[in-house]
Amino acid sequence: MRVRVEQTPLPGIGVRHDLVTSSGRTVGVVSHRTGRRDLVLYDVDDPDASLASIPLTDDEAEALADVLGASLMLGQLAGLRQQAAGLLTEQVAIPAGSMFVGRRLGDTRARTRTGASIVAVLRDREVIASPGPSFIFEANDVVVVVGTRQGLDGVTAILAGENGG
């Protein structure tokens, strides 16, 4: 099912993006020209009437996007796992003692060495989707890896510091 997001210019204010959910509820984000954002829940009976408006700071908007994005991404990965025989998804923690703490993802050569792909990194409450080879690991990052059982085990060993040279 495709989701439609409607964009409405608000002269002198900014722009409004609205999404109608499958249950018929409308939720929107008003992005003000000043940079302020408001999360808005609209009345079912009157789509122009707001039931609630929650102003969001940049950090709050980013955190909300991360939470929604992380759950969506992990749900999509779970669906992918069910569709592709032999393809698994796993979250692997980078221990504080790993030789890759403070080093670039590309230094692991994980995909070349194992055939498995690091598709995201979870750091604190932040999701970094599709990290590039210059991404720098920190202790306690959790990487989301997609691959075969052998590939996942290989990435786990690499990030633990085994065979890291």
- For the whole prediction, is pTM greater than 0.85? no
**Do 123 and 147 belong together in one domain?**
yes
Structural contact between residues 25 and 39, judged by C-beta atoms closer than 8 angstroms = no
**Do 35 and 56 belong together in one domain?**
yes
Q: How far is CA 105 from CA 18, 55, 66, 102, in A?
A: 37, 36, 21, 10
Q: Which of 24, 58, 82 is the last residue of a domain?
A: 82
pLDDT by residue for the chain (165 residues), tens digit each? 567 778 888 888 888 888 888 888 889 999 888 888 999 999 988 878 899 999 998 878 877 777 776 555 556 565 655 555 567 788 888 888 889 999 999 999 999 999 999 999 999 878 898 999 999 999 989 999 988 889 999 999 999 875 444
How high is the pLDDT of residue 90? 84
Domain-located, residue 156: yes
Structural contact between residues 93 and 147, judged by C-beta atoms closer than 8 angstroms = no
